[in-house]
């Protein structure tokens, strides 16, 4: 069986879906390598890729673009040609993965995968991640913590799992932050270990049907300090 290299990817966009709207930037970093059942973390700052792209349509949601902190006029004038950037991105993925299978990792996967897959196919004809080599960090946490997906938010994760980096909405910064979250989750023993006596906390099930904090820990705000953007026109959901 081939080893896998996990690539943490974060996307910023000026609307909810690709095609009518544009991906304005994306960042990628090598998060780690999976060999059989063994995960090895890597320094998420050591191998990275970042691009700011020229918009592909006139339509945009001003509030979504504002989240990224990028200026539309500057992107139209100085943003990279999407075909050139996506071709270079695919070559970078192949280079850093070598003989390994590339796996795209994101939080939540549905948003970033949608944009990257569409852009790779539209501008290069294929994706280096195939049509399904991906891992959703949100689902990974829900499965390990044994909680509903709705509870799998960064705010409700135990401190030892969360990245200590701020969520800045710069695509590369956030890809690196996300890589640390993935690394921590891959090494985290999960709820089975907690139930055996680990004091680390995730959200404890509440008979009322709502999330209630495990008394062994206190939830602290998401490092971004802001609420997750609305997907009706979001740049990148937390």
Positions annotated as catalytic residues are: 169
Between CA 47 and CA 173 the distance in angstroms is 13
Between CA 157 and CA 141 the distance in angstroms is 8
Closest listed residue to residue 163, CA positions, set 134, 141, 147: 141
How many alpha carbons lie under 13 Å from residue 215 in its C-beta half-sphere? 0
Peptide bond into 43 cis (omega under 30): no
Between CA 118 and CA 63 the distance in angstroms is 22
Structure letter (DSSP) for residue 213: E
Between CA 212 and CA 204 the distance in angstroms is 6
Residue 4 backbone zone (phi > 0: left; psi -120 to 50: alpha; other: beta): beta
Closest listed residue to residue 133, CA positions, set 27, 44, 19, 34: 34
Strands 48-52 and 134-136: unpaired
Contact (CB, 8 A) for 182 and 31: yes
């Amino acid at each position: 069986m081939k080893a896998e290299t996990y690539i943490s990817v974060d996307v910023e966009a000026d609307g909810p879906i690709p095609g009518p709207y544009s991906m304005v930037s994306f960042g990628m970093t090598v998060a780690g390598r999976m060999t059989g059942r063994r995960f090895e973390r890597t320094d998420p700052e050591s191998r990275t890729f970042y691009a700011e792209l020229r918009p592909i349509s006139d339509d945009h949601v001003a509030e979504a673009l504002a989240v990224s902190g990028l200026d539309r006029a500057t992107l139209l004038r100085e943003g990279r040609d999407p075909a050139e950037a996506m071709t270079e991105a695919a070559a970078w993925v192949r280079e850093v993965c070598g003989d390994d299978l590339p796996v795209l990792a994101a939080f939540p996967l549905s948003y970033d995968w949608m944009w990257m897959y569409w852009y790779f196919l539209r501008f290069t004809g294929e994706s280096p991640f195939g049509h399904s080599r991906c891992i959703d960090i949100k689902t990974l946490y829900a499965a390990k913590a044994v909680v509903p997906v709705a509870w799998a938010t960064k705010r409700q994760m135990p401190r030892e799992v969360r990245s200590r980096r701020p969520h800045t909405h710069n695509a590369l910064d956030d890809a690196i932050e996300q890589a640390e979250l993935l690394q921590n989750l891959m090494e985290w023993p999960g709820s089975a270990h907690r139930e055996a006596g680990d004091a680390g906390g995730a959200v404890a099930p509440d008979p009322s049907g709502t999330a209630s904090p495990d008394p062994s820990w206190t939830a602290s705000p998401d490092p971004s300090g802001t609420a997750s953007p609305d997907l009706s026109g979001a740049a990148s959901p937390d």
